[in-house]
Chain A
Amino acid sequence: MPDMRFAPPNPLRIADRASGLNAVSVRSYNERLLLSLLLQNESISRFEIGVKTGLSAQTVSVLVRSLEQEGLVAKGEAQKERGRVGPPTVPISLNPEGAFSVGVSVGHKHTDVVLIDFVGSVRFHATLPNPAPDQNSNHSDFLETVKKAIELLPGKTHERLAGIGLALPEPGDGAHNDPTPPDLRYSALQEEMENEIGFPVFVQNDITSAAGGESMFGAAKPLSDYLFFYLGAELHSRLILNHQIYYGNSSLSFDVGIASLERNLQEINKPTEPLWDRAGTWPDYGKIKESWEASLVEQMKRSFNALAQFVEIKTIVLSSYAPQDICGAICENLESSLIGVKAIAGIITPSPKAIGAASLPFSSRFMVENKEK
């Protein structure tokens, strides 16, 4: 029996030097652990990685080196922290060009398609009318847009596309009049996309997507516990505890969203197109908007207070398709009536749901299931 210490070396990573992203199965738990930390923090030193993961410095060294070679992470300049005795620290962060992802959000009125890089910057965005609801062969525009987004990637970076995230509304969201349940309607779409485009497609509820996007790339990045609202056609909410998005059986939503404002405006023949333009601004709708906002904030307070009986939450994050100044005003309104609570408007533009959808291939392929932190 030979001494197995001196068997041929069995490298974890180095022998595998493909130019593109490695297959899903190859990525070890420890690599996912490390990438999770990097997706949750702007940058982090190898020492901090060791403290947070419990991995030895030598193991972290091997992991970081292989991820560097794969182009997923980049080493920063050494930094001398103020007040810290000892050597400077060398921060490690994600390489923006290390991976790309496409996000598709099928919304109330239209579909958003975005292409983001590894740190969440939007490289491409398009808005389309919704795909036809009832058959599989009529999505050519839709597929073309996704293909166009992929073609925008420079040269060899096609190999760096982690996948396509698809954010779909669920039955009970109320925004759809189609009697066919959306999950059935769109399961064909998912399959068609995988077959046509040849990349893995990941599907998620669209509100959960928006929360995920805000958590990974937006205003909620540093937060571990908060109540998340999405203001779309209706008002939706999710609870985030320890970075985990809770999504119970009930997908309760409230008809105090933009659709209710739209109805009120239509009654008095005011234009409603600006309501659905995230990048635009709303005209002065006067009292109608004020009373709508009051009832919206009232509902948000009710949700918050109901939750406060069970968990102590100090932060509210509001994400929306509505312009940022509108969201900012709602947050101020909330803060003034909920003492000690911080309300933050989401910062993801142009489409929080689509960008959240695009974060899904990253979390599925690069993160551990139970984010540890």
Chain B
Amino acid sequence: MRSVLCFGDSNTHGQMPGGTPLDRFGPQQRWPGVMGRELGPRWHIVEEGLSGRTTVRDDPIEGAHKNGRTYLTPCIQSHTILDIVIVMLGTNDLKVRFNQPPSEVAMGLGCLIYDIKELSPGPGGTIPEIMIVAPPPMLDDIKEWESIFKGAQEKSRKLALEFEIIADSLEVHFFDAGSVVACDPRDGFHIGRQAHENLGVALAREVEAIGWANEHD
């Protein structure tokens, strides 16, 4: 049995576009569930999506628990052994309250990569496969969220390149979710049911493409 940790924000949690964290797609509809279906029964999927999660930032308004970095260590240690850690974060770092350029968001992601490598939760204490997934860019119209995310739309379009640069320099896997899905117009930054399906299938193919030795268990 292999294990994959899906570490993300509301788009990993499965929050419906235009809804609240309580309006959530079902386990089979969220991308981690779709990916699990595609990978088959030899894979164990761990879902860790928190609405409002940032890469490395305590949120002064929503709370310090939104900081992805502080939660990453207990989270990973809770779920070892992990063959692969998929991280899809970055959108919440673009909130006005953080005032960060896309490159700084990528630096935050770099911290998470270092932390995962240091924790080495892979089989036999090795570094697991790490896959950075750049979130799809926000739409221009983000409805009532405009004040919270002012200016984030433009920045969100630059995340994929910045993330790929950090993934490249730290030698981890990279996938641009924007290449297969777009955000839903109902709020402009969450992904809809079909997008979850498409993303789950695409990520399963990416995980398979890494190539895995036959297990002997």
A→B interface (CB under 8 Å): 5-6, 9-15, 45-50, 56-59, 61-62, 65-66, 75, 78, 84-90
A326 to B40, CA, bound (A): 55
Q: Are B171 and A56 in contact (CB under 8 A)?
A: yes
Q: Which residues of B contact A14 (CB under 8 A)?
A: 161, 164-165, 168
Q: Count of chain B residues with Cβ under 8 Å from any Cβ of A? A: 32
Partner of B208, one of A11, A12, A48, A78: A78
A66 to B174, CA, bound (A): 11
Nearest-neighbour CB distance to chain A for B45, whole angstroms, equals 14
Q: Are A12 and B130 in contact (CB under 8 A)?
A: no
The 9 A-B pairs with the shortest beta carbon distances in the complex, nearest first, are A47-B211, A11-B168, A9-B169, A87-B208, A90-B209, A14-B168, A46-B211, A11-B169, A61-B173
Secondary structure dominating the interface of B: helix
A43 to B204, CA, bound (A): 21
Q: Are B215 and A86 in contact (CB under 8 A)?
A: yes
* Given the contacts A14-B165, A47-B213, A62 and B208 also touching, CB distance less than 8 Å: no
Interface flag for B20 (CB, 8 Å):
no
26 sample A-B contacts, Cβ–Cβ < 8 Å, listed by A number: A5-B110, A9-B110, A9-B169, A9-B170, A11-B164, A11-B166, A14-B161, A14-B165, A14-B168, A15-B165, A46-B211, A47-B210, A49-B211, A50-B211, A58-B129, A61-B173, A62-B171, A65-B174, A75-B209, A78-B208, A78-B209, A86-B42, A87-B39, A87-B212, A89-B211, A90-B209
Q: Which residues of B contact A9 (CB under 8 A)?
A: 106-107, 110, 165-166, 168-170
Q: Are A90 and B173 in contact (CB under 8 A)?
A: no
Q: Which residues of A contact B172 (CB under 8 A)?
A: 58, 61-62
A6 to B215, CA, bound (A): 36
| B residues 91-138 touching A (CB-CB < 8 Å) | 106-107, 110-111, 114, 129-130
Partner of B114, one of A5, A58, A84, A86: A5
Q: Which residues of A contact B209 (CB under 8 A)?
A: 46, 75, 78, 90
A45 to B211, CA, bound (A): 7
Partner of A48, one of B39, B130, B169, B211: B211
A150 to B115, CA, bound (A): 51
Q: Which residues of A contact B106 (CB under 8 A)?
A: 9
Q: Are B167 and A62 in contact (CB under 8 A)?
A: yes
Q: Which residues of A contact B174 (CB under 8 A)?
A: 61-62, 65
Nearest-neighbour CB distance to chain A for B85, whole angstroms, equals 11
Q: Which residues of B contact A15 (CB under 8 A)?
A: 165
Interface flag for B78 (CB, 8 Å):
no
Closest chain A residue, CB of each to CB of B213:
A47
Nearest-neighbour CB distance to chain B for A162, whole angstroms, equals 24
* Given the contacts A9-B166, A50-B211, A61-B210, A90 and B171 also touching, CB distance less than 8 Å: no
* Given the contacts A5-B114, A47-B213, A84-B214, A10 and B208 also touching, CB distance less than 8 Å: no
Interface flag for B143 (CB, 8 Å):
no
A135 to B129, CA, bound (A): 61
Q: Which residues of A contact B164 (CB under 8 A)?
A: 11, 14
Q: Are A57 and B168 in contact (CB under 8 A)?
A: no
Q: 8 new A-B pairs (CB below 8 Å) besides A5-B114, A9-B165, A62-B172?
A: A6-B107, A14-B161, A47-B210, A58-B171, A65-B168, A84-B214, A86-B215, A87-B212
A78 to B107, CA, bound (A): 33
Q: Are A10 and B173 in contact (CB under 8 A)?
A: no
Per-residue CB contact flags for chain B residues 184-217 toward chain A (1 = under 8 Å, else 0) read: 0000000000000000000001011111111100
Q: Which residues of B contact A84 (CB under 8 A)?
A: 214
* Given the contacts A6-B110, A65-B174, A12 and B212 also touching, CB distance less than 8 Å: no
Q: Are B211 and A59 in contact (CB under 8 A)?
A: no
A137 to B79, CA, bound (A): 74
A90 to B170, CA, bound (A): 24
Nearest-neighbour CB distance to chain B for A92, whole angstroms, equals 9
Q: Which residues of A contact B213 (CB under 8 A)?
A: 47
Nearest-neighbour CB distance to chain B for A41, whole angstroms, equals 15
Partner of A59, one of B114, B171, B205, B214: B171
Partner of B169, one of A10, A57, A59, A75: A10
A78 to B114, CA, bound (A): 31
Partner of B214, one of A56, A57, A86: A86
Q: Which residues of A contact B173 (CB under 8 A)?
A: 57-58, 61
Nearest-neighbour CB distance to chain A for B171, whole angstroms, equals 5
A360 to B210, CA, bound (A): 31
A273 to B213, CA, bound (A): 58
A46 to B173, CA, bound (A): 12
Q: Are A58 and B130 in contact (CB under 8 A)?
A: yes
Q: Which residues of A contact B171 (CB under 8 A)?
A: 12, 56, 58-59, 62
Closest chain A residue, CB of each to CB of B43:
A87
Q: Which residues of A contact B114 (CB under 8 A)?
A: 5
A15 to B174, CA, bound (A): 15
